[in-house]
Chain A
């Protein structure tokens, strides 16, 4: 299906219609938006917070804020972009509150045991290649187990498409440090994948 020129990246006609209805107070439309985006928001929160309960709490907080403020959303960006940025901001605030606690490593084994990793837009090659799916799950495991100073910039850059400047502003770190940490994070993934083979 050809995308209309007026459509923002990541926005479908269905999104636009639901957002328009939700802005007018249509709760059913808002519920549909929750169904469309809850997993996306939860995934983003989980990668940043590394805790299932906190990720769900953050997800609820995000949607509560969206519900209370959607009538004021002008749509200069797509709804998906807006909710993504809100999720990231909410998680950054939670991490700041937690910053005094020790950076605990959380085993991802329980996560992959209890929850399913779903590939939403798999290429045909990936669907066919079980081995490649396993490598991607290994990458996920490595990312989630990384320390915060590497994990957060990597997630924001490579999974959320933030610019270096935006990451520097969000994390309060100099842009040079952000770039260095992202480079190091990628190297950690590369080195650890070698040990898995």
Chain B
């Protein structure tokens, strides 16, 4: 599938040229937005999307969910480091008590 991956990488950079003046039609639509339409446009789903996109916790959660192996490895390393530090602290305290 190596060739397919290479072509798909190039397809990623391809764009379809839309009909003329799509920007003008977009700006026309924006100019004609009525205040009463705002609530319908910015519906519950969109507001949740906006909230998620502005949330560091959400971004972190998504990274963890997308890379569960890395997250597990990181957790083990953190716990291991904590255990080592706790052991060293215990040794120091024992030495001081002697």
Contacts and interface: CB of A to CB of B under 8 A. Distances in A.
Contacts of A68: 33, 38, 41-42
Interface stretch (A12-20, A34-42, A97-105, A145-153): A34-42
B29 A135 contact: no
A24 interface: no
Contacts of B66: 163-166
Contact of A40 (B11, B15, B25, B62): B15
Interface of B: 1, 3-5, 7-8, 10-19, 22-23, 25-27, 29-30, 33, 38, 41-42, 45-46, 49-50, 53-56, 59, 62, 65-67
B29 A43 contact: no
Contacts of B12: 158-159
A31 B31 CA distance: 11
A35 B23 CA distance: 6
Interface in A58-114: 59-61, 63-65, 67-69, 72-74, 76-77, 82, 85-86, 89, 93, 111
A150 B19 CA distance: 27
